[in-house]
Amino acid sequence: MRLPQALVNEWRHEPDWLAALPRLSAECAEHWNLELEEPIATPHSLVVPAADVVLKLNAPSHFEADHEADALVRWAGNGAVRLIARDDGRRAFLCERCQPGSRLWDAAVDAEDVVAELLPRLSIEVSQPQPFRHLADEAARWAEDVQHRYDVGDRPFERALLELALEVFASTDTRDGYLVNQDLHGGNVLRAEREPWLVIDPKPLVGERELDAVGLLRNAASEGEAAVRRWLDVLAELGLDQERARGWGVAHALAWGWSDDDGWADEHVLAARTIAAA
């Protein structure tokens, strides 16, 4: 199998995993009796369609994806792709394939309507025992990281953004138990047949409902403040606290706004600023 170049670039610091991928995917194909097609050219994981399923393998250090399969199990196909099989040792799973699989943000439909139909079904309370990380624990780590990266970044952005993010992290509700997705956006909602649209690629946590807003707001921010305001209104209509959603939009854009290789990502800083101002 030829690995996508984007994947090889993204995981160049994990050469052992890259080297093992042809073997790992061949073992999955054998075990699950798959005829693998060409991998999708995507950087963050190995995604390989095979007839009516998709094989996905996540890198060992990609911890945000640790519980992707668990989230799909909890949703049980209701608004998201169904999990078909999993092999946690290989960090692999099989899920249903969306056909034609085009992405919501490329479609000529009202994305707000689609999300308004999906989100209430995805926003479920998680019963114990459950494997997910809690948002409050992530927030404690983000608070330290974001502060530190701000300090070493030589005033990478206005202090007010930092303070807003730290305030959100510090006030995280430690008891809320909703299954939330850090990566819900139009690139991870695909056209399907069983339902018109299905969510893929969750990066799940358990915590405050408003965290579901972060991917939607981050992506809306690239279109400007008016787009962010439209989404904030949709989210409020779905029962989310609008100011909390905005706060998480800013805080999470900064939490995910840094890479060790390149430092602060302009795109994320700009998203945080646009969400704060909208």
Ligand X SMILES: Nc1ncnc2c1ncn2[C@@H]1O[C@H](COP(=O)(O)OP(=O)(O)OP(=O)(O)O)[C@@H](O)[C@H]1O
- CB 271 within 8 Å of CB 218: yes
Contacts of residue 253, defined as CB under 8 A and 6 or more positions apart, other chains included, come to 214, 217, 218, 221, 268, 269, 271, 272, 275
Interaction partner, residue 4 (ligand X, Mg ion, none; CB < 5-8 Å by kind): none
Q: Does 58 bind Mg ion (CB under 5 A)?
A: no
Kindly state the smallest distance separating residue 196's Cβ from ligand X, in Å.
Answer: 14
> Which residue, among 101, 108, 73, 104, has the nearest Cα to 202 in the 3D structure?
73
> Which residue, among 198, 230, 196, 197, has the nearest Cα to 216 in the 3D structure?
230
Q: Does 131 bind ligand X (CB under 6 A)?
A: no
Q: State how far Cα 135 lies from the chain centre.
A: 14
Site string for Mg ion, 160-189 (x = CB under 5 A): ----------------------------x-
Kindly identify the residues of this chain, within the stretch 178-197, that bind ligand X according to CB under 6 A. Answer: 187-188, 190
Site string for ligand X, 92-121 (x = CB under 6 A): ---x-xx--x-x------------------
Q: Which tokens sit at 272?
A: 């945080």
> Which residue, among 254, 233, 20, has the nearest Cα to 160 in the 3D structure?
254
**Nearest CB to Mg ion, comparing residues 79 and 156:** 79
- Comparing every residue's Cβ against ligand X, the nearest one is 44
d(CA 39, CA 50): 10
Q: Does 68 bind Mg ion (CB under 5 A)?
A: no
Which one of 3, 18, 20, 40 is in contact with ligand X (CB under 6 A)? Answer: 40
d(CA 87, CA 94): 9
Site string for Mg ion, 186-205 (x = CB under 5 A): --x------------x----
Give catalytic residue positions.
Answer: 183
Instruction: List residues binding ligand X (CB under 6 A).
Output: 40, 42-45, 47, 54, 56, 81, 95, 97-98, 101, 103, 187-188, 190, 200-201
